[in-house]
Structure 1
Amino acid sequence: MAMNCTRSLRSIIISKEAAGVLGHRTFAAGGSKAKKGSKGGGAGDTPKVSTLSKEIKSSTVVGANILKDGADPKVMPDSDYPDWLWHLIDKHPPLSELRRKNIETLPYEDLKRFVKLDNRSRIKENNSIKAKN
């Protein structure tokens, strides 16, 4: 009788351990499927070499295609793009620099930026004062 109880307890303990092992979620380092013959290690840590040639990289915008059946767009000469596009990368002065300048001599775009940033900073300051009280 005692033998039967110990066998049943062993089977319960083993099944709980197996459930515990199966219940843990783990993540593989190299993906969901392991490669055959690989023992892990740093083989997957090396950077992948691009299969695209330099000619393709310089003539197309790689990764800009959003359509299933489309192709990556070709890079055109600078004269084919609108003028406003090149002003998007211009750096705008921060609020501290705008405060140092005379407001009356600022161009309209800088004046709009000053008002927007100044309002934002006053709102943040008022919110922090209210949060302390």
Structure 2
Amino acid sequence: MLVAGYSGFDWKVITLFYGEVGQIAEATSECLDVNGDTQYASIPKQALDALEVLKEVSATPDHGTWVTADVTIVRETGQFNIKYNYDEQPSWTLSLSRRITCSTLSGIPDLPMRFPPGTRSPTTTPTGMRS
């Protein structure tokens, strides 16, 4: 699905960043073509839908789910790799305040989540958070 977005390029490597916390989501993708140039294309909706489902089914009651995922596809070797981020503060390109991130994280009753360090301590409640 992701590869379809780059079918017009002679690509070597495709990378995708996907992050979702509550109602806040970000996805970016690029490819390195055979000339070494970076190319950009829209991420197919089916690829984003698949990542949303993967995030949901990855959740466990004890450990929650991942916050971000970095996907890499290497054409020459056929290698497909996903690196999940469960514990680190997301490196959003969106400008989000700590309060928005914390209130969003704390308002998700149906999907257990891990809280990246610095976003919520185990003893603080959303109303007691500092900005």
TM-score by length of 2: 0.19
Greater relative CO, 1 or 2 (CA 8 Å, sep 6+):
2
Bigger radius of gyration: 1
* Higher percent of residues as helix: 1
